[in-house]
A and B are shown apart, each in its own frame.
Chain A
């Protein structure tokens, strides 16, 4: 059981209040989606959560220890992190990229243990990448590359996944494929905190939604309880119709409310 806990976290960058008294948690066995408009503080919150940001007030603990006080290697064994921008500097192949996910386990590329190889193979299978194993990453489509990054995160076998917009700029099929992979990962007992902009997709896959606006948590709870037309209005300033099909909620935006 791994748990990432935020307690009254506030953060100022310059004169701007980015996070304002945020309290929440993510643990094993749940897929939590972080929602909110651009500039709401989502990225800041998860960067603080993975220990890459230290100038905050309040408490963040990963199994009882502030993540920014953990050694990079220890932290990475508990959380795998997919940042928003994922540039690949060199055209290495898919297998090598996924093997980088084993970095925190002391892996030197080209010298993987059986355990590492098994983790890489499992991740390649989970993300349907076996046939692309030896392809160079610069020859992949955006959707294939997104799957490679997911596989890289899965290969670390960390119990918690934190991903910043993992499906940005993907077509509907690949969006669904990546979300399904993350869902399967959580169904096997892991935890995930995912930033998304697609509220309907979030409603379909998430166990819980955290609604963030101007650095404040507006709501934090199960999809059925928090996804309402008035929440869409409060958080995104849009009028929307929320409807249910087969027990899953979906949202249609009908206009902008200033």
Chain B
């Protein structure tokens, strides 16, 4: 289906960005120092900077982008709408609300698995709600409105939690969740959330034929032999679990899930099943590039990844919405 060079190119870009992420930063690590570190022939400091700070951070950014990219692509296929995205539809906000709630009550201290679990639960609740609303209402505009409602409801509860925050430290923790960031992530954090992202992505990849069938509309898709309830369930579960995992790692980062599939589509001839893998790769690249950018920007306080993603993504969203109305109305 897709142009055969497309996926390999995305892999190469991913590798280059990962390398750049290791080299660039507040103290640029030249290629020689980088190679020395890789070959275990450098100072303790360089070693820590590369292996304990930059690499896990880069991997976290890439994984979060990939999970959001594939979730966005799958939700767009299921809802047959290029504006669907875990961020826009309030899935990320609900997940980060659930995660904050866990932090607030100190449950995260009981077992470290509580945090990703609660984020996944939050994401699943929001995704299931949206899927139910789509079945009942069927209209794309209504769906976006329901998403906005879910998003602002989660935002309001988040504000309430912040209002009740017992001390400034928890408050700053919560703000980190709301804004989204991959700074100071450890391999342990990644190890805790990666299984969720992998399982979610696997569920989505398994459903890709169903997403292609849904191009014809739900009724015709069932007519050609699609088990619609099953596909719906798989995509809702997959997108919820993958987004929940991403939120557990980085907090709420928006718009990657909408921008990545949009740029992928022309290269796979708009075939929804074929957008999944490339959207994951491109989503990873976009978020990693954004993270590199905010690290090398000469600002006193480092910008939050979610803020940068929104600054780039929100105008892109408007642009995509505008293009869509030109085609369909």
Which residues of A are in contact with B by a Cβ distance under 8 Å?
Answer: 50, 52, 71-73, 75-77, 79-83, 85-93, 96-97, 100-101, 103-104, 108-110, 136, 138, 152, 156
Candidate in B1, B80, B223, B272 with the most chain A CB atoms within 10 angstroms: B223
Which residues of B are in contact with A by a Cβ distance under 8 Å?
Answer: 1-2, 80-81, 209, 212-217, 219-220, 222-228, 265, 269-274, 327
Is A76's CB under 8 angstroms from B223's CB?
A: yes
Query: How distant is B233 from chain A, measured CB to nearest CB, in Å?
Result: 14
Query: How distant is A110 from chain B, measured CB to nearest CB, in Å?
Result: 4
- Name A72's contact: one of B81, B225, B272 (CB within 8 Å): B225
Known A-B contacts A87-B217, A92-B269; A138 and B226 likewise in contact (beta carbons under 8 Å): no
Query: How distant is A86 from chain B, measured CB to nearest CB, in Å?
Result: 6
Is A103's CB under 8 angstroms from B225's CB?
A: yes
Query: How distant is B271 from chain A, measured CB to nearest CB, in Å?
Result: 5
Query: How distant is B83 from chain A, measured CB to nearest CB, in Å?
Result: 12
Known A-B contacts A89-B215, A103-B209, A108-B209; A72 and B270 likewise in contact (beta carbons under 8 Å): no
Chain B contact residues: helix, strand, loop or mixed: helix
Known A-B contacts A109-B273, A110-B274; A88 and B223 likewise in contact (beta carbons under 8 Å): no
- Name A83's contact: one of B81, B213, B217, B327 (CB within 8 Å): B217
Is A90's CB under 8 angstroms from B213's CB?
A: no
Closest A residue by C-beta to B229: A72
- Name B223's contact: one of A83, A87, A90, A97 (CB within 8 Å): A83
Is A83's CB under 8 angstroms from B224's CB?
A: no
Is A86's CB under 8 angstroms from B269's CB?
A: no
- Name B225's contact: one of A77, A87, A90 (CB within 8 Å): A77
Is B222's CB under 8 angstroms from A100's CB?
A: no
Is A109's CB under 8 angstroms from B222's CB?
A: no
Query: How distant is A80 from chain B, measured CB to nearest CB, in Å?
Result: 7
Q: Which residues of B contact A91 (CB under 8 A)?
A: 270, 327
Closest B residue by C-beta to A101: B224
- Name A52's contact: one of B80, B222, B265 (CB within 8 Å): B222
Query: How distant is A53 from chain B, measured CB to nearest CB, in Å?
Result: 11
Closest A residue by C-beta to B217: A87
Q: Which residues of B contact A73 (CB under 8 A)?
A: 225, 227
Q: Which residues of A contact B228 (CB under 8 A)?
A: 72
Q: Which residues of A contact B265 (CB under 8 A)?
A: 90
Known A-B contacts A93-B269, A138-B327; A82 and B223 likewise in contact (beta carbons under 8 Å): yes
